[in-house]
Amino acid sequence: MALRKFFVGVQSGQSERYFRRHYDAGGNHVPPAIGDQYIPIQFTLLDNPEFRNGLMTKARFRTYLLLRRYVVRARSSHDPSYIFDRYWSHGELAASIKLEKLAEKLNLPKSTVSDHIRQLEKDGVIEVDTIEPSEATDNVQHLVFVFGTCFKGRERWFIDEVFSGSNDKDRNFRPRRNNK
């Protein structure tokens, strides 16, 4: 009963649902796993009719979302192109995935995925870099997809800039990209 006092002001039955969900059969609450992460999309972006009736309706948006799922925020032993060191450590939100794997996951031909990537780059929501075989531990060329920047814990996505409708693009949040 003492635990129920924690739930002051909850709706009738809400605390029971909470306990059933998180403490079923006397188990302990387990925090969400890595697989339970999500892709944040700002409400201002969803409220923008240019985005909602434009890019969001295009097949390439599926490709964008799947690419964004692979943004690197930590070191990995399975990263032959050092995305964490080359991008995240320099304030950039980036991912690298082979086109074949991306095409397989999307159930699309590789040529269609390549077209989507070119279109997304033209839209300005990603930038594509190439890591040459001599710079990778597996001696294979890798494509790197840059989605935005992250400084002092604040993530800025190019997609938000493109559809913000604001002239204030605060270039301080583009540490390496503003030198182009």
Q: Tell me: the pLDDT tens digits for 50-80?
A: 999 999 999 999 999 999 999 998 888 888 9
Closest CA to 125 of 67, 74, 39: 67
pLDDT tens figures, 74-98: 888 888 989 999 999 999 999 999 9
Mean of per-residue pLDDT scores for the chain: 81
Q: Where are the beta strands (DSSP E) in 92-141?
A: 92-95, 127-131
d(CA 163, CA 48): 7
DSSP 34: G
pTM score over 0.85 = no
- pLDDT on residue 151: 87
Reported as half-sphere exposure (CB side, CA atoms, 13 A), residue 40 has a value of: 7
